[in-house]
Amino acid sequence: MWLFKKKGESGFSYSSTAEEVTIGIDGSGLIAIVTGASSGIGAETTRVLALRGVHVIMAVRNMTAGKDVKEAIVKEIPAAKVDVMELDLSSFDSVKKFAADFISSGHSLNILINNAGVMAIPFMLSKDNIELQFATNHLGHFLLTNLLLEKMKETACETKREGRIVNVASDAHYVTYPEGIRFDKINDQESYSKFSAYGQSKMANILSTYELAKRLKEDGVEITANSLNPGAISSNLFRHMTIINGLVSTIGKLLLKNVQQGASTTCYIALNPQVKGVSGEYFQDNNLATPSKKARDMDLAKKLWDFSMDLVK
């Protein structure tokens, strides 16, 4: 459809693929962490970054699946630099262990892509007794980012190359609870809505990105933080919604993005020189976009930051 191919100011569109938005970019010498890299857009993000010369650390919950993806990438791209490390974002202990192991490895860190997530799952609590979607999609990434921030600052200072933090959010943030973030009802099972809870976690991704970008600017460090909506993609995120998953399997190829298109905005923000110096923004289809009014509420962003910090402590 012509509408999907209409290019924005960046020169890219809804239909652009991750390879297309990174053509000609040399990522040699850069090191990136990609969470949720064992499937879907996380795997494609890893493949394309590796194709451009980036050394990618795949942060995955399922090590077997992660190693299979690594093997496939290296088979396609013999020169690819890809490592696999275990990370369960629903567990603060796992996040802390991952960060400690990564730092002790001696690697620098240029790019952090917070991509992993669960979607519209039945009510469950994480290992730290927090509603699972909020814990996995937001808190796990929030803690990971804060634990790795000093390493990113060191890398940016030593290499004189801009660090980039990319948070994969969603337009599902429009479908959240009326108050946006239910600070006093995070674990309220009685009023739980799996779709609103997912939207809440995605709004948290956007809000925390704004607050992080503000703090990075105040610190005067050369690190940017941006969030994005990858678009509706035919992926295993729909696995907990039987009817929708069936529709995705049958008509998804016609109406939804494929993973090559779905990973494009992530790769665009992570590597494209057009985004240099751009921070605290929301992207969609490889172009700047505007999230909901509530997702741009800086007072709410600050409140969420403090709330999240208390929880991860």
Answer whether 71's CB lies under 8 Å from 291's CB: no
Q: Within the chain, where are the H helices?
A: 2-5, 40-51, 63-76, 92-104, 132-133, 140-159, 194-219, 242-255, 259-262, 264-271, 298-312
Whole-structure pTM value: 0.93
Interatomic CA distance for residues 44 and 129, integer angstroms: 32
Q: How high is the pLDDT of residue 250?
A: 52
For residue 223, the cross-strand partners are 163
**Which pLDDT score is estimated for 307?**
98
* Cα within 13 Å of Cα(23), Cβ side: 6
**Stretch 8-17: mean pLDDT, rounded?**
97
Question: In the prediction, which pLDDT does 255 show?
Answer: 72
The rounded mean pLDDT for the chain is 94
Where does 17-109 have alpha helices with state H? 40-51, 63-76, 92-104
C-alpha gyration radius of the chain: 18
182 close to 130: Cβ distance less than 8 angstroms:
no
Q: Are 77 and 48 in contact (CB under 8 A)?
A: no
The number of helices, as runs of H, and strands, as runs of E, in the chain is: 11, 8
Please check whether residue 228 is in contact with residue 239, taking contact to mean a CB–CB distance below 8 angstroms.
no
- 112: pLDDT strictly greater than 50: yes
> What average pLDDT score do residues 163-191 get?
97
pLDDT in tens, 222-281: 999 999 999 999 755 544 445 544 544 555 456 799 999 999 999 999 999 999 999 999
- Percent of the chain surpassing pLDDT 70: 92
Give the percent of the chain with pLDDT over 90.
Answer: 91
Number of other residues whose CB lies within 10 A of the CB of residue 218:
8
268 catalytic per annotation: no
pLDDT tens digits for range 20-30:
999 999 999 99
Q: Which of 14, 174, 177, 192 is catalytic?
A: 192
pLDDT surpassing 80 at residue 142: yes
Q: How far apart are CA 258 and CA 232, in angstroms?
A: 9
Residue type, 250: T
145 vs 254, higher pLDDT = 145
Mean pLDDT over residues 166-175, rounded?
Answer: 98
CA distances from 113 to 5, 20, 243 (A): 26, 19, 30
SS3 assignment, position 191 = coil
Inter-residue contact 112 to 152 (CB < 8 Å): yes
Could you report the per-residue pLDDT of 32-75, keeping only the tens digit for each? 999 999 999 999 999 999 999 999 999 999 999 999 999 999 99
DSSP state of 190: T
Alpha carbon distance 22, 25 (integer Å): 6
pLDDT number for residue 251: 55
pLDDT band for position 284 (50/70/90)?
Answer: very high
Output the pLDDT for position 6. Answer: 84
